[in-house]
Amino acid sequence: MAKENDFMDLYQDWQRLPNGPKAELRRCGTLDDLLEVPAFYRLLGGRGEKEWQKKAYQRMIFCLPCINHTEQPVSLGKALARSRKGTRSTVSESRMIQIVRSEAPNDMIQLRRVIKQSEPTVNWSLMAKQLWYWDYNERSKRGLLEDFFINQNDKN
């Protein structure tokens, strides 16, 4: 497994990208769209030796433009549960269930849409770890859903 430092190195590399390449990554609508963007390869930059590891980094880079990082231990599920516009949550329960039930690549497309809509502030290391295991561990998807429901009514 990649180390937490590897995930933070990816985030820091993202932060150092000029605005133009960041915008190119934001405009990608699917994981495959990334494969046609030079900034993706700059961020990938030799990360991942095996194909499944490269796919994991691809998922991370796909979602990275849509989040804000905090050092606080805020998981993605918790951040999505707390995201609000006015008095209403920006993410519905049914939408979260739909994401978890979806198969690749639609699950990532739907997840990114929700992240883009809610602009969550998350701990990147926690989120990256969840994305690292996304395709290979049902616990990762279930963990997202559990965090969402547990924190839905938590106002802290």
pLDDT at 156 over 50: no
Topology of domain 4-151, CATH: Peroxidase; domain 1 (1.10.520)
Q: CA–CA separation, 20 vs 120, rounded Å?
A: 22
Dump pLDDT digits (tens) for 16-72.
999 999 999 999 999 999 999 999 999 999 899 899 999 999 999 999 999 999 999
Q: Which helix (H) or strand (E) holds 108?
A: helix 106-118
Dump pLDDT digits (tens) for 69-120.
999 999 999 999 998 765 567 899 999 999 999 999 999 999 999 999 999 9
Side chain identity at residue 42, one-letter code? R
The verdict on whether omega for the bond into residue 65 sits within 30 degrees of 0, i.e. cis, is no
Per the CB < 8 A criterion, the answer to whether 134 and 144 are in contact is: no
Dump pLDDT digits (tens) for 120-147.
999 999 999 999 999 877 889 999 999 9
Strands (E), the chain: 68-69, 84-85, 88-89, 121-122
Radius of gyration of the chain (CA): 15
- Give domain limits for the chain: 4-151
